Amino acid sequence: MPSKKQHPSAQTCPLPTGKLLLIGGHEDKGKPADEQTESAQNVNFAPEAILERLAQEIGNRGPLLVIPTASGLPEESGQDYVEAFRKLSGPKVVVQNIATRTEANEESTLALVDKAGGILFTGGDQLRLTTLLGGTALQRRIQARYAHEGLVVAGTSAGATAMSTPMIYQGRDDAGFLKGEIHITTGLELLHDVAVDTHFIARGRIVRMAQILATNPACIGLGLEEDTAVLVTEGRELEVLSSGLVVVMDARNCSSTNIHEVAPGTPFTMRGVQLHLLARGERYSLPTAPRLYA
């Protein structure tokens, strides 16, 4: 495990006071599991562990604001969390689907953020999420509260992917080995120099993550399996939660790659990538320096 030695930039940049909960998708919400599902076959499966931890982290700080903007079925997606947290006797859930950039700049929307003890971005399409929220007053308010007021920000599936910069938004799982098949853009900028991908093992996404790191070798790749999460404190300290694995890819010491030389649509090579597989309870210090927003 990397040392927790303080990064030089941290001496001048205060650490964020909030926490991030990045979820790999399909987290258990208390519904009966099919016998063929991964959770049913995993002897270490912990029902509702991720949502219970989110409720615990929020405590009595305020309601949980669920933003289902990424979802194609926002009402249904939001209601799932209303029911899940009701079963857990967790915080009150307020659902606000933000469908336009105008709504993301309205004072009534910002007031919901100000009252929230935590925010949860649901799954769906991460590009829709960043297109509608990126650069808005809502994004800036969430960043500020995360940095200075201890706000807990959670995201599942697309909602987790959108928290990082760079953000993966397009790329076929079965074509990640071909140059140009994977596309990235700027996420919501709560976690810098980290590329997050979800449903990581179930959908075989390790090679598409490798392509992201081949072109962005200063970044760390964070692959989250389903019903698995990491809690991020101080902007870089990770704790693995629930039933699956977290895959950490580090290409900073990659010895060589030819991705800058081969033609689009061609397989690329990459040597010397470091890989960590982390199960529940493991901790990891991201070798990146967090940034703080005013």
Q: Does 192 map to a domain?
A: yes
Cα→Cα distances 26→7, 137, 228, 294, Å? 34, 30, 9, 34
Output the six-digit token pair for 226: 């389903």
Q: Which of 157, 164, 242, 243 is catalytic?
A: 157
Q: Does 7 map to a domain?
A: no
Q: Does 8 map to a domain?
A: no
Cα separation, 273 vs 213, in Å, equals 9
CB 246 within 8 A of CB 186: no
Q: Does 2 map to a domain?
A: no
Q: Is 199 a catalytic residue?
A: yes
Q: Does 3 map to a domain?
A: no
> What are all long-range contacts of 105-113, with beta carbons under 8 Å and residues at least 24 apart?
105/136, 105/137, 105/138, 109/138, 110/137, 110/138, 110/141, 112/65, 113/65, 113/138, 113/141, 113/142, 113/145
Q: Does 186 map to a domain?
A: yes
Q: Is 226 a catalytic residue?
A: yes
Q: Which of 27, 181, 189, 199 is catalytic?
A: 199
Q: Does 65 map to a domain?
A: yes
Q: Is 3 a catalytic residue?
A: no
Residue 281, domain CATH: 3.40.50.880
Tens-binned pLDDT, residue by residue, of the chain (294 aa): 544 444 444 455 689 999 999 999 999 998 765 544 555 555 555 578 999 999 999 999 999 999 999 999 999 999 999 999 999 999 999 999 999 999 999 999 999 999 999 999 999 999 999 999 999 999 999 999 999 999 999 999 999 999 999 999 987 777 788 999 999 999 999 999 999 999 999 999 999 999 999 999 999 999 999 999 999 999 999 999 998 999 999 999 999 999 999 999 999 999 999 999 999 999 999 998 777 665
For residue 267, whether the previous peptide bond is cis, meaning omega lies within 30 degrees of 0, is no
Q: Does 293 map to a domain?
A: no
Structural domain including 115 reads: 14-285
Amino acid letter, residue 117:
G
DSSP state of 169: E
- HSE, side-chain direction, 13 A CA sphere, residue 39: 19
Total domains in the fold of the chain: 1
